[in-house]
Structure 1
Amino acid sequence: MVLTTDVPTREQILARVQETLPTLRKNADWNEENRRVHEESIEALAEAGVFKLRTPIRYGGYESDTRTLVDVASAIGTADGSTSWVASVFWIPTWMACLFPDHVQDEVFSTPDVRICGTLSPTAMAVPVDGGIVVNGKWGFISGAHHSQWQVIVTVLVAPEGEPQPMMALVPMSDLQVIDDWHTSGLKATGSVSTAAQDLFIPADRVLHIGQVLTGLGVSAANATSAIYNAPLLPVASASSVGALLGMARGARAAFFERLPERKITYTGYTSQAEAPLTHLQVADAEMKIDEAEFHAHRLASLVDAKAAEAAQWTMEQRVKARADMGAVVRLAKEAVEIYASASGGSSIYSHQPIQRFARDVQAVNLHALMHPNTNAELYGRLLCGLQPNTLYV
């Protein structure tokens, strides 16, 4: 099913997203209690077009640039970090799906507002068979699995001859077992459960070598000339992810200032927290960190979008710096949230206060293997010291 659509501007998309925020805030507590995003929130995001941002125009999507992803995720994140994280995660496997053969995309995108979850962890094994591969294994941290129709999996293909090869495949969620094991302290509402496959046959046309995906060398004829689908995966994924962190930091700031007029500093002479010099130093420090995080997020998005528009090749330095920018956003957002949380006093730890949720969520993102600030800083430092990256994920 091939559609055409009038593609809204970034401003129009953001205006629609702003209309969803009251619903997203209302459902934030329910999300945490039930360890997944409320269906009402998912439907609100679908209505706003959030799940169309990386879908090809020919299927009714928007093919939005990464600056739009940053701004949309940031807006959603001010209401609920987990909801923003799930939306961001969907954009990345959706982009991956656009590298597969066109007839495979026809099937995937026949579902309106299709949602695709996924992972880059090769925690399953596969063997070749006639017409495809057979996979056995399990994948963890599958954010948004409860709301998805498809999953991108990674598996190690072991053939009778040759070296094992990491492969990526598209699988309907109906072919996978969903394991409800998401019991965590942060990002509780992302529903990042595990999934498993047992003797699962996957046809060859739904399988790509992971090297093709990491370098953006897809086999889609229809997307071959579309700028956003011709880029290395990690810069694209990095730019897709950072907006959620900006949103969490801005959400924590809003939660702090909402309570500030009624707060004093207990056991001191300050009857108004807003009058204390300590508060002035704290909020100024936090605000500068949010500004710095925004700089790195927008620089990353601008790089990805400019390279796509120019159809230019990526240098290794640019690819590594993209991950460094992502790591900087993650670190700075966490530092800003921690300042606001620390300045919010003991009453902020009650579960009905959103700032404690932002603090837990931003901490969880900082532990993500691909987003960890130290890992990304070290990778950039290696390159600056004349060494090659010690990972394929650049």
Structure 2
Amino acid sequence: MLTTEVPTREELVRRASELAPALRNKAAWSEEHRRVHDEAIEAMADAGIFRLRVPARYGGYESDTSTLLDVAAELARGDGSAAWTASVYWIPTWMTCLFPDEVQDEVFATRDVRVCGTLSPTAMAAPVDGGVVVNGRWGFVSGAWHSHWQEIVAIQVGPEGEPMPIIALVPMTDLEIIDDWNTSGLRGTGSVTTVAKDVFIPAERVLPLGAVLGGQPASKANAAVPIYRVPLLPVAAASSIGTALGLARAAKDAFFERLPERKITYTDYASQSAAPLTHLQVADAIMKIDEAEFHAHRLTGLVDAKGAAGDAWTLEERVRARADMGAVCRLAKEAVDVFATASGGSSIYTHVPIQRIARDITAMNLHALMHPNTNAELYGRVLCGLEPNTLYI
């Protein structure tokens, strides 16, 4: 087992901030080639970005979600796709820590291991001696090109039993990658489709999905570690929002960088900064960022506090976690939209960052688990006394 000195949150955020310019420099390449540049991946690995959710006994940092929020927000100021990919790695890496300890020994034997994943049960698993055989495919697998393992979800059906969703870990070498990520936003994430054809998975690398959703780990070594005793969906929500917040801040940065040289065409404003309209737009956008920060910190604060105390989660807390995630995405997009609208016709050129930021935050808001409307409806449903209409809480 490996242990290492754990950097402080401030140190990790500083590293992420220092990475942002390098990520920005590779963002155009990542967009064109539809995956994060190898050098950007290596730079994030060197900075320890992929160790934030790894247990300390393997040289990880066991960082809380408040740290994930701040780190991802800084990465996204450089490139939303790189930040999103790092965030996606954090979630299946955390899920790996719920598996039996001998499975973790295998996965974390690779330094700076990267685990991609999905929660969609779009494959079938047939029980066999010693494990299961899986056939199927999974879409939207962000970061698959640079991953060592994939966390998959499948439906296991036995000869006499009821269908049961399972979660499992599979080496990427056992899967086929379909290069189908041709999208308008988050193009650099390389969120391709992966395919399993008669892939055998040993029983120790398989868990019931319900146990994972309910925060019932099979790991003995991690049972008392605060960050691993929280239900999956609140963890996933808190792990994802930093990219949205960082994209809103990136839009602010991009707008103010261009502001001194801009006029408003076909008006007598020689400087855009002198126009009352600009004042209203800037104030509106930054207030939306402030509101997004409130929901982001409320969410991560709740996840971290519940994990530290080991307290049970109420139903309302679970669905509010998703509502807070949706609110961060919505408000961040609204802020970006204001800055993009205020950036004028010249902002549609591909070398101007605001157009990429706007496409990336739009893509985030369309994600099934992050969609603001879906999450708000779920929260309101429970507040009205109805049962949730999803297992993903």
Q: CA–CA distance in 1 between the matches of 2:304 and 2:351?
A: 39
2:70 equivalent in structure 1 = 71
2:226 equivalent in structure 1 = 227
Q: CA–CA distance in 1 between the matches of 2:338 and 2:307?
A: 37
1:368 equivalent in structure 2 = 367
Deviations 1:41-100 (A, max 9, x none): 111111111000000000000000000000000000111111100000000000000000
Q: CA–CA distance in 1 between the matches of 2:28 and 2:197?
A: 35
User: How is 1:30-45 mapped onto 2 (pairs within 5 angstroms)?
Assistant: 30-45=29-44
2:353 equivalent in structure 1 = 354
Deviations 1:225-274 (A, max 9, x none): 11111110000000000000000000011000000000000001111100
Displacement of 1:391 after TM fit?
A: 0.2
Displacement of 1:292 after TM fit?
A: 0.3
2:204 equivalent in structure 1 = 205
Q: CA–CA distance in 1 between the matches of 2:45 and 2:300?
A: 23
Displacement of 1:389 after TM fit?
A: 0.5
Instruction: Give the counterpart letter for 1:246 in structure 2.
Output: L
3-state SS of 1:27 partner? helix
* Gap regions ≥5 residues in structure 2: none
Is 1:190 matched up with 2:189? yes
Structure 1 stretches of 4+ with a deviation exceeding 3 A read: none
Instruction: Give the counterpart letter for 2:85 in structure 1.
Output: V
2:268 equivalent in structure 1 = 269
Displacement of 1:19 after TM fit?
A: 1.9
Instruction: Give the counterpart letter for 2:375 in structure 1.
Output: N
Deviations 1:178-201 (A, max 9, x none): 110000000000000000000111
Instruction: Give the counterpart letter for 1:55 in structure 2.
Output: V
Deviations 1:24-50 (A, max 9, x none): 011010010100000111111111110
User: How is 1:1-394 mapped onto 2 (pairs within 5 angstroms)?
Assistant: 2-394=1-393
Alpha-carbon contact 2:230-2:307 (below 8 Å) kept: yes
Identity of aligned residues (%): 70
Q: CA–CA distance in 2 between the matches of 1:289 and 1:344?
A: 17
Instruction: Give the counterpart letter for 2:194 in structure 1.
Output: T
Aligned residues: 393
Superposition TM-score, scaled by structure 2 size: 1.00
Displacement of 1:15 after TM fit?
A: 1.4
3-state SS of 1:332 partner? helix
Alpha-carbon contact 2:123-2:155 (below 8 Å) kept: yes
Instruction: Give the counterpart letter for 2:38 in structure 1.
Output: E
Alpha-carbon contact 2:20-2:76 (below 8 Å) kept: no
Displacement of 1:359 after TM fit?
A: 0.2
Q: CA–CA distance in 1 between the matches of 2:20 and 2:330?
A: 25
Q: CA–CA distance in 2 between the matches of 1:161 and 1:279?
A: 66
Instruction: Give the counterpart letter for 2:24 in structure 1.
Output: R
Q: CA–CA distance in 2 between the matches of 1:187 and 1:173?
A: 22
Instruction: Give the counterpart letter for 2:231 in structure 1.
Output: P
Displacement of 1:21 after TM fit?
A: 1.5
Instruction: Give the counterpart letter for 2:369 in structure 1.
Output: L
* Gap regions ≥5 residues in structure 1: none
RMSD (Å) for aligned C-alpha atoms: 0.5
